[in-house]
Amino acid sequence: MSQWDHLWIHLDVASADPEVSEAYGLLRDHAIAIKDGRIAAVLPSDQADPHLAAQVHHGEGRLAVPGFTDCHTHLVFGGDRAWEFEERLRGTPYTEIAKRGGGILSTVKATRAASEDELVDLALPRAKALLAEGTTRLEIKSGYGLTLDDELKSLRAARRIGELLPVEISTTLLSAHAVPPEYKGRPDDYVAHVCEVILPAAAEAGLADAVDVFTEGIGFSLEQTRKVFEAAQAHGLAIKGHTEQLTNMGGTALAASMGALSADHLEYLDQAGVDAMAASGTVAALLPGAFYFLRETQKPPIQALRDAGVPMALATDFNPGTSPFASLRWMMSQACVMFGLTPEEAFLGVTRHGAAALGIADEGRIAAGCKAHFSLFDIAHPNLLAYQPGLPAPAVRIFRGEVVDA
């Protein structure tokens, strides 16, 4: 029996491994050995004995890149919001549309009307577009159902994406996304329903890996947020937050103080919030697609996050209202041009730091012990990934150690 199932030789490897001192964790002319879907070794090509492997593949000098993690999406929903887009372009603010019962609630209507199968059919092409770029883990949130049945339906649809496509799925319960029409004017009653009914059922069914809250004037207060987070933790679920997206409410500091995996958006984050994140090790998930699509002008405090050593992840936030963009590569470009990330920070944002935002320690790097999720690109240097979104697509995609059919 062979020691390795596969051996890829003559690759340049952008490992994203912090143990490698080069930028991007770059290793020239290396080999990747795979056993049982995991990386067994990363070593110089001339030290990799091909006789130890059942199958040897010539890498042709291509660049191996860790499978990307898109750590924040709302991929499962019905309908679209193209008319709302037109209305916003004519000058109506996003918050105004939300207060009128449009926005998130119009997608809630369409999502409730869709069956689980229909939601899967709608989500599949979105997921395929993301996977074609080399993404191997997607986080998918509920939050457009807002009833017990519709939230569980959405989470089941999310999990099914992982059975139908070569991708790992993390699911997040975001029932505290908006107050549904049946609870209009009674947000505390809705929060109690989330904490006492929806969240326990999702946890019981194993349908949620984490719980998220939209802490915002048009979302939920700090006190309501705390209640949902406490219920999540009582059920053993990780927490993460939509915080400081449109105003500074202190949601980030609250989430960080409770040990959140990530706080996401962060345009209005202040220094106290940055310090709280640094103290707790909470990842900052930046979502430039929503910043761009809402014509936001307040940028997240990148230099303060950098100075404090807060890891920065980058995600699409794919959703019909504020970020209808199924491309992480494009988010990398936007984060560099609009937020001032370096191309290397953008790369780490969709690899190691993206995985960290989901509490996943054995993905997002090309290193021994990690899952064998990586792509091979015909590019000379990883800085091209952020520079030229879209092209080239990966020449080869490897998921759980095996080549994915194009």
Q: Report the interface residues with ligand DI6, using CB under 6 A.
A: 103-104, 107, 177, 214, 242, 245, 290, 317, 319-322
Which of 70, 151, 168, 317 contacts Fe ion by CB under 5 A?
317
**Spatial distance between the Cα atoms of 382 and 307, rounded to a whole number of angstroms:** 24
- Return the number of the residue (41 or 104) whose C-beta is nearest ligand DI6: 104
Backbone angles phi, psi at 281, to 5 degrees: 75, 20
> Among ligand DI6, Fe ion, none, what does residue 352 contact (CB within 5–8 Å per kind)?
none
Give SS3 for 358. Answer: coil
> Among Fe ion, ligand DI6, none, what does residue 245 contact (CB within 5–8 Å per kind)?
ligand DI6
Tell the smallest beta-carbon distance from residue 143 to ligand DI6 (Å). Answer: 7
- Return the number of the residue (215 or 375) whose C-beta is nearest ligand DI6: 215
Tell the smallest beta-carbon distance from residue 286 to ligand DI6 (Å). Answer: 12
**Spatial distance between the Cα atoms of 39 and 45, rounded to a whole number of angstroms:** 15
Cα 25 off chain centre by: 22
Both tokens of 269, joined, read 């984050």
Both tokens of 77, joined, read 């929903």
Q: What is the dihedral of CA 100, 317, 190, 179, to 10 degrees?
A: 0
> Among Fe ion, ligand DI6, none, what does residue 267 contact (CB within 5–8 Å per kind)?
none
- Return the number of the residue (136 or 319) whose C-beta is nearest ligand DI6: 319
> Among ligand DI6, Fe ion, none, what does residue 401 contact (CB within 5–8 Å per kind)?
none
- Indicate the length of the chain as a whole number: 406
**Spatial distance between the Cα atoms of 114 and 220, rounded to a whole number of angstroms:** 26
Tell the smallest beta-carbon distance from residue 318 to Fe ion (Å). Answer: 9
Neighbours of 395 (CB within 10 A): 14
Tell the smallest beta-carbon distance from residue 73 to ligand DI6 (Å). Answer: 10
C-alpha torsion sign, points 183, 188, 190, 192: negative
**Spatial distance between the Cα atoms of 216 and 261, rounded to a whole number of angstroms:** 19
- Return the number of the residue (5 or 296) whose C-beta is nearest ligand DI6: 296
Piece of 36-44, 233-241, 315-323, 371-379 that binds Fe ion (CB under 5 A): 315-323
Cβ-closest residue to Fe ion? 317
Strands 68-70 vs 63-66: parallel, antiparallel or unpaired: unpaired
Cβ-closest residue to ligand DI6? 321
- Return the number of the residue (9 or 104) whose C-beta is nearest ligand DI6: 104
